[in-house]
Amino acid sequence: MHPEIIETVKRALAEDIGTGDLTSQMTVPADRQAEGKFYARAAITVAGIELLPLIFELRGGVDHLELLKQPGDQTYDGELIAVVRGNARRLLECERVALNFIQRLSGVATLASKYVAAVAGTRTKVLDTRKTTPGLRRLEKAAAAAGGVTNHRMGLFDYILIKNNHITAAGGVKQALAGTAGATVPVEVEVRTWDELNEALDAGAKRLLIDNLTPAEAKRWVDHVAGRASIEISGGITLDTIRAYAEAGADYISVGAITHSAVSVDLNFRVTLLG
């Protein structure tokens, strides 16, 4: 597991447990054994469940942990998704952190899967964005991928995306693209006007980002490009509109809402005593 994820989980446990779970320490015998079951409370796309072994391991481990679902799996309302057995205090102190991660990440995966389903049968790939919760980007992008979305750049360091402010600062589309000569990572440029579109094509741009067009306008631009560059469409795309943009011929559609507006799903953790 990536070191960033391990550190994220450590911080979450430290944030919640601190110097100790006072309630469990004062109400539950130290040697009490229990079984905990995680249930989905709705039809969801699962994500984050792979963190359960790490969460319990970082608090000393458990006797048994079984994941009945994997990232990307679908559930029905009431379906059992994981079982854990071990020290009752440990199960209780890890409960909220485990639920927080799985609920949040499954919410991202569930929303992602809806966007992917909305463009089924077209050639369009749905992309996520950098509009993620600070500190959770790697996890949220993994959740988006579990929902069937194609991950876009992880950050500013692995992909060149020339946006409107870069174009303004560089002095124009042509000047901005010229500065990327010899780049060893993908280069994409945003075009805001018909003139910028043609300027980018004349400069040899191979991937274009077009923003805030209607589906009809987007189709006109796609037809004009005629395969000379791949096209990503973004800007206020919703579940109600994404199909129209896909049918306009977009190669990619990026949707910030997948991460910034996903709603956590409902899960339940039930404990029973053993022995």
Query: What residues act catalytically?
Result: 96, 131, 163, 190, 211
The DSSP line for 132-176 is --TT-HHHHHHHHHHTTPBP--SSTTS-EEE-HHHHHHHTSHHHH
Nearest to 62 by CA among 98, 10, 26, 27: 98
| The pair of three-digit structure tokens given for residue 5, joined into one six-digit string | 């994820």
Residues constituting the chain: 275
Contacts of 1 (CB under 8 A, 6+ apart): 54
Tell me, what DSSP letter sits at residue 41?
S
Cα of 65 vs its chain's centroid, Å: 25
Q: Do 273 and 37 touch, CB atoms closer than 8 A?
A: no
Cα–Cα distance list, 264 to 27, 60, 61, 179 (Å): 30, 28, 27, 42
Calpha distance 154→139 (Å, rounded):
11
Nearest to 52 by CA among 110, 15, 109, 12: 12
